[in-house]
Amino acid sequence: MNLTRKRIGAKLSRIVIHNETVYLCGQIPVGLNDDIVGQTKAVLASIDSDLEEAGTDKSKLLSALIHVKDNKDVATFNELWNAWLPEGCAPARTCVQSTMANDAVLVEVTVIAAL
């Protein structure tokens, strides 16, 4: 079995690579004072960075699980998501309204990608 964990913490690994699949932990923004636009851009940049560290990129996304604090932000999130995602590379996706662990977090995204 081919298994690699990167940036291992007490509760999670930020990146897990199993065989030819990359799993990222839920990505939240660092700047919690930002609005949905700023937080979404930060999350997408974090995904780009972690995918690069794992040896892949967003063109190889397989699945995305998106949590938004308020459904009113979904349209704005989708606009930014669509601009970020390469054409023809849309993953299987779920988007749900969620209660966040930290009330200042407006969006969290978890992705799975192929190597």
Residue 1 has pLDDT above 80, yes or no: no
DSSP, collapsed to helix, strand or coil, labels residue 104 as coil
What is the pLDDT, as a whole number, of residue 110?
98
User: Which phi-psi region, left, alpha or beta, contains residue 18 (left: φ > 0; alpha: ψ -120 to 50)?
Assistant: beta
Pairing of strands 13-18, 21-24: antiparallel
Q: Quote the pLDDT of residue 99.
A: 97
Within 10 angstroms of residue 31's Cβ, the number of other Cβ atoms is 10
Lowest mean pLDDT segment, chosen from 1-5, 15-19, 21-25, 70-74: 1-5
Residue 114's DSSP bridge partners are: 21
Residue 85's pLDDT is: 98
The tens digit of pLDDT for each residue in 54-93 reads: 999 999 999 999 999 999 999 999 999 999 999 999 999 9
pLDDT of amino acid 32: 94
Helix (H) or strand (E) holding 75: helix 74-84
CA distances from 55 to 23, 29, 100 (A): 12, 22, 30
Q: For position 31, what pLDDT does the model report?
A: 86
Task: From residue 33, give the alpha-carbon distance in Å to each of 83, 102, 104.
Answer: 23, 12, 7
DSSP category for residue 85: S
Instruction: Say whether domain 3-114 belongs to CATH 3.30.1330.40.
Output: yes
- Pairing type for strands 13-18 and 3-8 reads antiparallel
Global pTM value: 0.96
Residue with tokens 């949905």: 36
Q: What is the mean pLDDT of the chain?
A: 97
